[in-house]
Amino acid sequence: MGGLSAVRRRPDGGDLGPAWAAVRVRLGLVVALVVLAAICWWWTAEQMRGMDAGSWTPVGAFGWFLVVWVVMMAAMMFPSVAPTVALYARMARSAPVLAPVMFVAGYLLTWALAGAAAWALAIGAGRLLDDTVITGDGGRILAGLTILAAGIYELTPIKDVCLRKCRSPLGTLLGSWRDGRLGGLRMGTVNGGWCLGCCWALMASLFALGVMSIAWMAFVAALIAVEKMLPWRRVATWGTAVVLVVLGLLVLVAPGVIPGLSAPAPGGMPMM
């Protein structure tokens, strides 16, 4: 008991109990987000079973797609955003538990709005384009060009700015700080906005490869994690750009050599 008491006291004799409690809260948040991500991966895999129709897989009805999309974002993003949530929890003194929960809710709200826009774009494109365009060479060419564009976006200044904000969130949190639960919700949406600016092109690539494919979902999630967590930012960005450019070229000229890439199925982009 004496040894434990000594560990929990500062050199000046102060009690370290509150500090240890705060550390436990932050660690619990990180663990909870990772566990939730694992559950979301399992649920998404169950929902997507047998639904991969290749490039421009049908997105389904709005409500169903939006639920699956939000769960997908939780699965793909929670591991890489967990350090930011832990940092926010450390700074949020007025509501150290509830405010981070609202922060995560705001983050997912941003991605939910992006998913709604993606659904509308997919449905609109499906109505404008002839089905034979999507299921034939036109769909393959469009998919390859989309992936190439995502690779080029990796090297643009706006991508660099958004990635910096995601990798070093302290300045963003301090610059837009709001207290309380609503403040946490607002700051979560801001952080989600920077994340969206960083990753929207990668998400477009996921649609081009097969948005209902758990394998391509894992591939894009791995690229996002590398970019946000690898210590060498330039290496991560250029590496991701090279991977996307090579993949885009292969989709254009030799799609058969890409493992796990399904040929577009009849039905294309229109709603199921």
* pLDDT at position 254 over 90: no
Burial 62-91 (b: 16+ CB within 10 A, else e): eeebbebbbbbbbbbbbbbbbbbbbebbbe
pLDDT reported for residue 2: 42
Tell which wins on pLDDT, 213 or 110: 110
**What percentage of the chain reaches a pLDDT higher than 90?**
41
- pLDDT tens string 44-68: 888 888 777 767 777 888 999 999 9
Question: What's the whole-number average pLDDT of the chain?
Answer: 82
pLDDT reported for residue 76: 92
Residue 112 resides in a domain: yes
pLDDT reported for residue 174: 83
Residue 264 resides in a domain: no
The number of folded domains in the chain is 1
Q: Which of 214, 213, 211 is nearest to 203 (CA)?
A: 211
Distance, in Å, from the CA atom of 248 to the CA atom of 127, rounded to the nearest integer, reads: 25
Under a CB-based contact definition with an 8 Å cutoff, are residues 36 and 104 in contact?
Answer: no
- pLDDT tens string 7-20: 444 444 454 445 55
Residue 272 resides in a domain: no
Residue 266 resides in a domain: no
- pLDDT tens string 152-194: 999 999 999 999 998 888 887 887 788 777 888 999 999 999 9
Residue 263 resides in a domain: no
Containing structural domain, residue 187: 2-257
Name the 3-class secondary structure at 76: helix
pLDDT band at 4 (very low <50, low <70, confident <90, very high): very low
